[in-house]
Amino acid sequence: MKIHYYLGWFNDVFDEKLVRLLQEDITDRKSLVMISANPFLHEDEEVGATERSWLDQANIMFDEYHLIDYGVQKKEAQKLIQNASVIFLLGGYAVEQNGLLIEYELSDLIKKSKAVVMGTSAGAINMSAKWLFSKYTGCKVETNSIYEGIGLDNFSVLSHYDLENNITQIQDGLSPLLEEMNVYASNKDCAVRVKSDKIDILGNVYLISHSKIQKLDETL
């Protein structure tokens, strides 16, 4: 049974509803494998500290903790993914994380894994089938680019962005992507959970489909 969590950024701790669901879904707690979105900072102990604290505060502890970045050898990183109980793609720089996933050939291993897969901010974006790198989505670039994500589910995620105040810009910027798939857009303290083929919503999440934007009701 596939279980995927696409998270926004949490400034404090996980919502109580989210904690309950994670405790139910994460039954195997042998190994947490985090994938850095700042992979060149492999000597920085702060990388992943915030995301790990969310799980600690939810009383979800693991026997082993691992962080994949460029300080880890490719074969070792692949082995960690294959043995993971939970795979957590961290927040940070989506393009750098995407490069790590490609260079280390991790995407197919993640798709085949039976682990619970989570991602926050950049991590949630890279779990997408495709995602847009654009000034309209908060990136400091002049040219729009569509990136291939891991493709855990056939939609795109726009995470950690103030949609409420930028609806028109978002529609314009996402137009190339919206021709191919739906986009779930969220900001902070929210989650899209996919369990089997059921999609659940926590917090303020919008579905952008072609030219329509719909705020989704919470189901969690």
Predicted local confidence at residue 160, as pLDDT: 60
**How many beta carbons lie within 10 A of that of residue 73, not counting itself?**
10
Domains detected in the chain = 3-215 (3.40.50.880)
Please give the pLDDT value at position 209. Answer: 86
Residue 100: predicted pLDDT: 97
Least confident of 12-21, 72-81, 169-178: 169-178
pLDDT digits (tens, 9 = 90+) for 95-131: 999 999 999 999 999 999 999 999 999 999 999 999 8
Query: What b/e string do you get for 158-182 counting C-beta neighbours within 10 Å, with b at 16 or more?
Result: bbbbebeebeeebbebbeebbeeee
What pLDDT is recorded for position 168?
62
Residue among 56, 151, 169 at smallest CA distance from 101? 151
Mean residue pLDDT across the chain: 88
Assign 143 a pLDDT band (cuts: 50, 70, 90).
low
Q: For position 134, what pLDDT does the model report?
A: 67
Report pLDDT for 217: 93
* More confident of the two residues 109 and 167: 109
Q: What is the pLDDT of residues 63-107, one digit of tens each?
A: 999 999 999 999 999 999 999 999 999 999 999 999 999 999 999
Model pLDDT, residue 146: 85
Asked if the model's pLDDT at residue 161 lies above 90, the reply is: no
